[in-house]
Amino acid sequence: MAMMIVPVLLVCYVPHLKYLAFVSLIAGVIQITGLAIIFYYMIRDLPQVRETVPAFNSWGTLPLYFGSAIYAFEGIGLVLPLENKMKTPQNFGGFTGVLNTAMMLVILLYASVGFFGYLEFGNDVLGSITLNLPNHEVLAQTVKIMMAIAVYLTYPLQMYVVYEIMAPVVRRRFEGEKTKFIAEYICRSLLVVLTFALAAAIPNIGLFISLVGAVSSSALALIFPPLIDIVIFWPDTGKYNWRIVKGALICLFGLTGFVTGTITSVQSIIEFLKHEE
pLDDT averaged over the chain? 82
pLDDT tens sequence across 231-255: 988 888 878 888 899 999 999 988 8
pLDDT of residue 252: 92
- How do the domains of the chain map onto residue ranges? 1-53+72-201, 203-277
pLDDT of residue 45: 76
Confidence of residue 114 (pLDDT cuts 50, 70, 90): confident
pLDDT of residue 13: 84
| Alpha-carbon torsion (97, 100, 104, 106), positive or negative | positive
Would the pLDDT of 191 be above 80? yes
Q: Give me the pLDDT at residue 262, please.
A: 86
Instruction: Indicate the pTM of the whole model.
Output: 0.67
pLDDT digits (tens, 9 = 90+) for 27-72: 889 988 988 898 888 887 776 665 667 777 777 778 877 877 877 7
pLDDT the model gives residue 50: 59
Per residue in 64-95, pLDDT (tens digit) is 778 778 777 767 666 777 777 788 888 888 88
